[in-house]
Amino acid sequence: MSRELILSAPLIDPFQRKINYLRVSVTDRCDFRCAYCMSEDMSFLPKSEVLSLEELERLCETFIHLGVKKLRLTGGEPLVRRNIMHLFRGLSQHLKSGELEELTLTTNGSQLSRFADELADLGVRRINVSLDTLDAHKFAAITRWGKFDKVMMGLDAAKKAGLKVKINTVALKGVNDDEVDKLISWCGDEGFDLTFIEVMPMGDIGEVERVDQYLPLSQLRASIEQKWTLNESLHNSGGPARYVDVIETGQRIGFITPLTHNFCESCNRVRLTCTGMLYMCLGQEDAADLRIPLRESDDNAVLEAAIREAITRKPKGHDFIIDREHNQPAVGRHMSVTGG
């Protein structure tokens, strides 16, 4: 497809993939300091660089106008941003109109006791909750600042509010690989789906070495199949996970494998940071600064043109690697900046 046709069409990238899924990091801040995600003495963005909630809403609405049907708010931890429900309330209007098919979020669960009911009232139907262990002592070591009981209370509140929960678990060699069966069983009892994620080489995380953390999910799946019956699933959540059905529990397990399997062939998503940077690929550094057209003009046509131009630069795929020799991240920015 020519560059001219791309610019006049809905959001179709150079590889004929329809871009209808936007992930928005509403803040790089978090109330946890997970060892695989960020350093304990993390330096966050100055508030002056972060878009206002009104600016984020305008950007999201522009993407909706261009055909985005699914919005996921992430962070950092999205629910620690002050007045974040103002943004959810604004975006929920597009669910009512039918322009938006799904509004959801990824959270660490720490604030769900406060917000689960309101999220459900606004039309959020499912959420992803990051949880890497069911052991309170391990949880404290992994998250550094997290409170295990608070997350469990949040999950209970989400269930009572009618939110469908998917647990996201980063597979960490020597840390939680002995809990895999327990996690599967617990998710079955709770009615939660479960997704395992390979550790991603993004950002400087201090003294922790990702080479020591890395556990290939091919190895993890082989271990799971020794106890559980897995059937390939046709389920597609719109994200990068590949799913299986667990016959014994009736729930799904997903596998996100940025290192052992490149999942880019059907990529339908882009990521927006809280500063207005649009990343066309999680594993690439190329980005478009949407804050400039957002603030320079009230005319959304200028903003739309900037978005369309950015989509013409979306790459075919990423090239995540673990630098075993120098222990350097494949991508310099932290995951909390880009959004999960």
Q: Which positions make up the binding site for GTP?
A: 23, 72, 106, 166, 269-271
Tell me the binding residues. Answer: 23, 30, 34, 36-37, 72, 76, 106, 130, 166, 200, 264, 267, 269-271, 281
Two structure tokens written together for 241: 């996970």
Tell me the binding residues for S-adenosyl-L-methionine. Answer: 36, 76, 130, 200
Two structure tokens written together for 4: 């001219």
Q: Three-class SS of residue 65?
A: helix
- Residues 64, 94: contact at Cβ < 8 Å? yes
Instruction: Report whether the peptide linkage leading into residue 162 is cis, meaning its omega lies within 30 degrees of zero.
Output: no
Q: Give the β-pairing of 230-232 and 70-74.
A: unpaired
Two structure tokens written together for 266: 């059907």
Q: What span, in angstroms and rounded, lies between the C-alpha atoms of 54 and 162?
A: 28
Q: What span, in angstroms and rounded, lies between the C-alpha atoms of 254 and 260?
A: 14
Half-sphere exposure of 223 (CA within 13 A, CB side): 14
Q: What is the dihedral of CA 18, 72, 288, 314, to 10 degrees?
A: -30
Tell me the binding residues for [4Fe-4S] cluster. Answer: 30, 34, 37, 264, 267, 281
CA distances from 37 to 11, 16, 144, 200, 291 (A): 31, 32, 11, 9, 26
Amino acid at 199: V
